A = this chain, B = another copy of it.
Amino acid sequence: MLGNFTYCNPTKLYFGRDALNGLNEELPKYGKNVLLVYGGGSIKKNGIYDKVVAILKANGKEIFEDGGVMPNPTSDKLEEGVRRAEAANADLILAVGGGSVCDYAKAVSVSVNCGGDPWEKYFIRFEEPTCKIIPVGCVLTMVGTGSEMNGGSVITNHAQKLKIGHVFGENVFPKFSVMNPEFTFTLPKYQMIAGIYDIMSHILEQYFSGTDDNTSDYIMEGLLRSLIHSANIAVKDPTDYEARSNIMWTATWALNTLVAKGKTTDWMVHMLGQAVAAHTDATHGMTLAAVSLPYYRFIMDSGLDKFARYAVNVWHVDPKGKTAKQTAQEGLAEMEKWMISIGLVMNITELGATEEMLDGIVKSTLVMDGGYKILNAVDIRAVLLASY
């Protein structure tokens, strides 16, 4: 833990089969008008919508609806949400859905009273909100982004072919989140697996950076081992409560600021994946999966000790009689085998990326400087080509 840092995460979490009862403790803290935000309507089919509405009504709330949040929430939808929240005079935004819905709720929460174009303000100029922020609560129905306990918000602008995340401060974190692992049972397997890899990628983005000895690296190795263990169970039986609950909890701690404290981080896999998504609208976790190994193999020599440590501590590679490079390569090979075994998409062609898109994806890829190697446009093209 070499750097100076502050840590504060005030979000209250209600976890478990009875987590939704937490709404009865939280709702009385806020005013009457609740903007209920959700996605494509699956919560109406699986009964979660009815349960939430019943609790809102029992607590005397007036409900205003904002459905139809897409998996990659757009800047156009964000503008619509701001108008709806204004019309509702919302005292609380309650997001019921996955990370996209929660991300979107946060973006609305900082835009209602702020004026200006929120896309330009927060996702191009990365300003901090200076206006009154509407409180946000989340009821999670999908796992992966960690949005339930952080300030992250990712918005896509189709006209500009950009998908950009802003990590807001504590004042934008959800005030509370409801986390019932059973709510994730009905999620299609493709989405579950994409979420699992999203979690893994969040950890690896923070792990593969720096050469210092950091407690966070040990915590991340623990989180990765837990995730792999539980994922292997969940892909066979998505209704295994214990596995799904461990995955849900791992997702939260993978990206609620803890494991980044006192260390540098990378996030280049997300930049590559988000550029692919901006052109293909593919599922977030799958875009990360498809670009990860090409990227890690490209940078491995520049962070060899950490990749060798990863192989031993996460993938149980026996380093005896091997060079660091051999150990590291074996670790990535084990990772690849595992990724294929759980059903992840391993190249961007399968996600709809065409040769004609390549120039555009390269152009849309923001470059980060915290990893083991800073990529230029030629490097980015090489990594992406390895994923075709």
Where the two chains meet, the residues of A that have a C-beta atom closer than 8 Å to any C-beta of B are 1-19, 22, 181, 212-215, 217-223, 225-226, 229-230, 241-243, 245-246, 248-250, 253, 258, 261-262
- A247 (CB) vs chain B CBs: closest residue: B215
Does B218 lie within 8 Å of A222, measured CB to CB? yes
Given A11-B8, A13-B7, CB of A223 within 8 Å of CB of B219: yes
Does A16 lie within 8 Å of B8, measured CB to CB? no
CB A143 to nearest CB in B, in angstroms, measures 12
Does A12 lie within 8 Å of B7, measured CB to CB? yes
Does A262 lie within 8 Å of B249, measured CB to CB? yes
Does A246 lie within 8 Å of B213, measured CB to CB? yes
Of the A-B pairs whose beta carbons lie under 8 Å apart in the complex, a sample of 22, sorted by A's number, is A1-B245, A3-B16, A4-B15, A4-B18, A6-B12, A6-B22, A7-B12, A7-B15, A8-B12, A15-B261, A213-B230, A213-B246, A214-B246, A215-B230, A215-B249, A215-B253, A217-B226, A219-B223, A222-B223, A245-B262, A249-B262, A253-B258
Residues of B within 8 A of A212 (CB): 242
Residues of B within 8 A of A249 (CB): 1, 215, 261-262
- Alpha-carbon distance A14/B13, docked complex (angstroms): 23
Does A229 lie within 8 Å of B213, measured CB to CB? yes
Does A16 lie within 8 Å of B11, measured CB to CB? no
- A6 (CB) vs chain B CBs: closest residue: B14
Residues of B within 8 A of A5 (CB): 15-16
Does B223 lie within 8 Å of A218, measured CB to CB? yes
Does B1 lie within 8 Å of A246, measured CB to CB? yes
Given A242-B1, A261-B15, CB of A9 within 8 Å of CB of B9: yes
Given A6-B22, A213-B229, CB of A15 within 8 Å of CB of B262: yes
- Known: A2-B242, A8-B10; 4 extra A-B contacts, CB below 8 A, are A7-B12, A9-B9, A215-B230, A219-B219
CB A384 to nearest CB in B, in angstroms, measures 33
Residues of B within 8 A of A6 (CB): 12-15, 22
User: Which one of B9, B22, B221, B246 contacts A215 once the chains associate, using CB atoms below 8 Å?
Assistant: B246
Residues of B within 8 A of A248 (CB): 1
Does A10 lie within 8 Å of B10, measured CB to CB? yes
- A313 (CB) vs chain B CBs: closest residue: B225
CB A313 to nearest CB in B, in angstroms, measures 8
Residues of B within 8 A of A1 (CB): 15-16, 181, 242, 245-246, 248-249
- A229 (CB) vs chain B CBs: closest residue: B213
Residues of B within 8 A of A214 (CB): 246
CB A15 to nearest CB in B, in angstroms, measures 5
User: Which one of B17, B222, B241, B243 contacts A221 once the chains associate, using CB atoms below 8 Å?
Assistant: B222
User: Which one of B11, B12, B253 contacts A219 once the chains associate, using CB atoms below 8 Å?
Assistant: B253
Does B215 lie within 8 Å of A250, measured CB to CB? yes
Residues of B within 8 A of A258 (CB): 253
- A226 (CB) vs chain B CBs: closest residue: B218
Residues of B within 8 A of A213 (CB): 229-230, 242-243, 246
Does A226 lie within 8 Å of B215, measured CB to CB? yes
